[in-house]
Amino acid sequence: MASSPGLEPSPEFATTVYHLAAVKSFMLASFALMIYDHMITLAEEVDRIWQREWTGATWLFVLNRYLTELQFIVNVVSFHHPHWTGKVSPCDDFMPFPAVSTLISIAIAEIIMVLRTYALYQRNKYILRLLAFFWAGQVIVMVTTLRHPTRVELPEGLVGCIQGASGNYSVAFWLAPLATDSVIFGLTVFKALEYIHKMKYRVPLIHVILRDGILYFTVILTANLLNCLLCFLAPSSIKVIGASFSQIITVVMISRLQLNLRSESIYPTPSMPTSQLQPLSSPELGEKEKQGSTTISTLSHYFQATVTDLGKDVLVAGEPDDEAGRAKCNCGVVPCFCHEFGGEPLVELEMGPVRPVSGGLGC
């Protein structure tokens, strides 16, 4: 230690040592949480991610989960290796890394949440533009705060290269993603409740969306607000104690959200179209419920194409012109899906408008 032999360390020095140990321990505990969650969900990841066709959504999952783990391996070294101390140039050179990597990690997580909401609204372009606006604003604010990197000044003899916090800039760094999350949460709850009211019976996909959305927003809101309070109220040596947990819990929950949405149990199967699902309160479906069932079938395919198979097309069937075809497809005014209901010419729904598929492919 820095104190002379036979002399008690000053109270300030003792407090700094205590705070440094707390920051390191909290970061290690957060990292252990991430690794533990990865281990207990590895079987699901292999089944639902690695053994399926690789798409844009797969890459987002991999970036979200594995980039953060690699980042925190470097962070652990910088916190504990004697070469990385608060008063040497390697720490100054390293200081932008944790902030930039955190920004990238959170931005990837927000992209996944934006796509999830976009799918919930059946690829509504206005919703996508609204969320893209908030996401871009979030990134701009977070990048602006990185112009003022700081580090914790440690007394001689203490080891650790630890990012500091600079008041309003650090608060803005954590409030920016919270603004985007608030918009996403509001849109998710509104649309999910609308579907629940329309269906009159339990639809696993909708309940998973609503449950995960509420849980995600509650946890992220709590973690980010805690960071804001620490930036204002905590001593300088402990202001960033919650930063590692906020980033890691975001990554963990986003990974769980994607794994949940890849579960086959929440999507209607070809052998059991949702128009045949019976509500708990009635032995037969009314016209409103039939249309609602087809809407959920449509929604499930939007989720599979946008969140599960990002970048792939959704194949749907055009509405039949004759009464017999409409009765067979059981669509009403809502177009139904060819591979679930069968019999009509295909059209291809991309990120843009609907257009016919060439080649005369039939169901």
Confidence of residue 134 (pLDDT cuts 50, 70, 90): very high
Q: Which residue has the tokens 């946890």?
A: 219
The domain in which residue 135 lies consists of: 11-266
Residue 4 falls inside a structural domain: no
Q: Please tell me the distance from the alpha carbon of residue 192 to that of residue 78, in angstroms, as a whole number.
A: 44
Task: Looking at the structure, tell me whether residues 151 and 213 fall in a common domain.
Answer: yes
Task: Looking at the structure, tell me whether residues 244 and 116 fall in a common domain.
Answer: yes
> Which of 213, 235, 266 is the endpoint of a domain?
266
Residue 303: per-residue pLDDT: 58
Residue 77: per-residue pLDDT: 86
pLDDT digits (tens, 9 = 90+) for 249-266: 999 999 999 898 887 555
Residue 266: per-residue pLDDT: 54
Q: Please tell me the distance from the alpha carbon of residue 233 to that of residue 239, in angstroms, as a whole number.
A: 8
Q: Can you give the C-alpha Rg of the chain in angstroms?
A: 25
Task: Looking at the structure, tell me whether residues 215 and 248 fall in a common domain.
Answer: yes
Residue 302: per-residue pLDDT: 58
Residue 157: per-residue pLDDT: 73
Tell me, what CATH number does 232's domain have?
A: 1.20.1070.10
Tell me the mean pLDDT in the region 322-351: 39
Residue 2 falls inside a structural domain: no
Task: Looking at the structure, tell me whether residues 293 and 259 fall in a common domain.
Answer: no
Choose among 318, 212, 303: nearest CA to 262.
303
- DSSP 3-state assignment of 355? strand
Name the residue with higher pLDDT: 340 or 188.
Answer: 188
pTM for the full model? 0.73
pLDDT digits (tens, 9 = 90+) for 149-201: 777 777 777 777 777 766 667 788 889 999 999 999 999 999 988 888 877 66
Residue 210: per-residue pLDDT: 87
Pairing of strands 314-317, 354-356: unpaired
Task: Looking at the structure, tell me whether residues 62 and 83 fall in a common domain.
Answer: yes
Average pLDDT, rounded, for the chain: 74
| Paired tokens of 79 | 């916190």
> Which of 225, 249, 266 is the endpoint of a domain?
266
Residue 7: per-residue pLDDT: 57
Task: Looking at the structure, tell me whether residues 147 and 225 fall in a common domain.
Answer: yes
Choose among 126, 355, 109: nearest CA to 248.
109
Task: Looking at the structure, tell me whether residues 302 and 252 fall in a common domain.
Answer: no
pLDDT at 350 over 90: no
Of all residues in the chain, the percent with pLDDT exceeding 70 is 66
Residue 362 falls inside a structural domain: no
Residue 265: per-residue pLDDT: 55
Residue 234: per-residue pLDDT: 80
**Structural domain tally of the chain?**
2
DSSP-assigned letter for residue 347: E
pLDDT digits (tens, 9 = 90+) for 6-56: 556 677 778 878 888 888 899 999 999 999 999 999 999 999 889 888 888
- DSSP 3-state assignment of 160? coil
Task: Looking at the structure, tell me whether residues 338 and 236 fall in a common domain.
Answer: no
> Which of 218, 239, 266 is the endpoint of a domain?
266
Residue 42: per-residue pLDDT: 95
Residue 230: per-residue pLDDT: 86
Task: Looking at the structure, tell me whether residues 178 and 315 fall in a common domain.
Answer: no
Task: Looking at the structure, tell me whether residues 145 and 18 fall in a common domain.
Answer: yes
pLDDT at 344 over 50: no
